[in-house]
Amino acid sequence: MLDALHVAWSWLHQFEHYTLYLTLGWIGYLVWLGGWIVLQKRAPVATLGWLLGLAALPYIGFLIYFVLGPQRIKRQRLRRARSKVALPPAEGPIAAPEARELQRLARATTGLPVTTATVVRLLVDGGATYDALLADVRTARHQIHLEYYIYAADATGTVLRDALVERARNGVIVRLLLDAVGSSSCPRRFFAPLLAAGGEVAWFHPMRFGRIWKRPWLNLRSHRKIVVIDGNVAFTGGINVTDDENERLRSDAFRDLHVRLEGDCVRSLQQVFVEDWAYATGTRDFISSVATVMPPLQPGPIAAQVLTSGPDSPWEAIHRLHVGAIHSARQRVWLATPYFVPGAAAIMALSSAALAGLDVRLLVPKMSDSRLVTYAARSYFDDLMLAGVRIYEYGPRMLHTKAMLVDDDVAIIGTANFDARSFRLNFEVSMLFVDTTIAAELARLIEGEFASAPRVREHRAQPLWTVRLPEALARLLSPVL
Quick: pLDDT tens for 213-255: 455 567 789 999 999 999 999 999 999 999 999 999 999 999 9
pLDDT in tens, 82-108: 455 456 666 666 666 668 899 999 999
Residue-level pLDDT at 197: 98
The C-alpha torsion from 130 through 241 and 106 to 47, rounded to 10°, is 160
DSSP state of 241: B
Is the pLDDT at 1 greater than 70? The verdict is: no
pTM: 0.87
How far apart CA 127 and CA 370 sit, in angstroms, is: 24
Handedness of CA 15, 16, 22, 24 (dihedral sign): negative
Which residues have a catalytic role annotated? 223, 225, 230, 400, 402, 407
Cβ-proximal residues to 96 (8 Å cutoff; 6+ apart), any chain: 409, 434
State residue 140's pLDDT score.
Answer: 98
d(CA 458, CA 284): 55
Q: Is 123:100 a contact under the CB 8 Å cutoff?
A: no
pLDDT at 20: 66
Q: What mean pLDDT comes out for the span 422-446?
A: 96
Residue-wise pLDDT for 304-314, tens only, equals 999 999 988 88
For 62, 68, 323, 391, the CA distances from 329, given in Å and listed in that order, are 44, 36, 10, 18
The residues, ordered by sequence, that sit 6+ positions from 20 with a Cβ below 8 Å of its Cβ are: none
Are residues 402 and 414 in contact, defined by beta-carbon separation less than 8 angstroms? Answer: yes
Report the alpha-carbon distance of residue 241 to residue 176 in Å, rounded.
12
Q: 455's torsion region: left (phi>0), alpha (psi -120 to 50) or beta?
A: beta
pLDDT number for residue 469: 83
* pLDDT at site 78: 44
Asked if residue 394 lies in contact with residue 250, where contact means CB atoms within 8 angstroms, the answer is: no
- Cα–Cα distance, 75 to 285 (Å, whole number): 17
Whether residue 377 has pLDDT greater than 60: yes
Q: Which of helix, strand or coil describes residue 87?
A: coil
In a 3-state reduction of DSSP, which class is residue 340? Answer: strand
C-beta separation of 328 from 418 below 8 A: no
Q: Work out the average pLDDT over 63-78.
A: 57
The residue-averaged pLDDT of 59-64 equals 65
Whether 439 shows a pLDDT value over 90: the answer reads yes
Coil, strand, or helix at residue 463? coil
